[in-house]
Amino acid sequence: MKQLPTKWKILFVDDSRTEINYLKLFFQLTKFPLIPKFINSALEAVETLKTIEADEFPDIIVVDINMPLMDGFEFSEIYFDNYSEKYPNTHLFIYSTSIHSADIRRAETTKGCTGFIAKPFSENTFTESIYPHLVKGEKISMN
């Protein structure tokens, strides 16, 4: 069994202060093996990714669809063009309150995007949507 990290770095990109506050509280109250970072615009996230050292690059990026100036799909295109080859083990998820099938389908077919996650982020979001991509068939306990 390969050695898995004790904690994965997760970057949330969302312009909603309410959502960011919820996520901060969520991570304070849970014991998930995640180290969260929060950025409130896709433009800022693009600039931040340029400055992150390889060993600090996020394992998971969760980006909201609807944001001003640059939406989650535009961010995903920039991410794919600039980082997906260099960081093939990073998983990018589109995140939204939208339950429109067109948004979900677009997220699932966007280059470099691992999948779609519905808000709000929950324990099930991590265990069912994100965790399986991180461990790729490895069986470990999160307790």
Q: Where are the domains of the chain?
A: 15-135
Say whether 134 sits in a helix, a strand or coil: helix
Looking at residue 92, what is its pLDDT? 94
Closest CA to 64 of 100, 117, 130, 132: 117
DSSP 14: -
Looking at residue 139, what is its pLDDT? 44
N-term to C-term CA, the chain = 17
Taking 50 as the pLDDT cut, the residues of the chain under it are: 1-3, 137-143
The CATH number for 15-135, chosen from 3.30.365.10, 3.40.50.1700, 3.40.50.2300, 1.10.10.10, is 3.40.50.2300
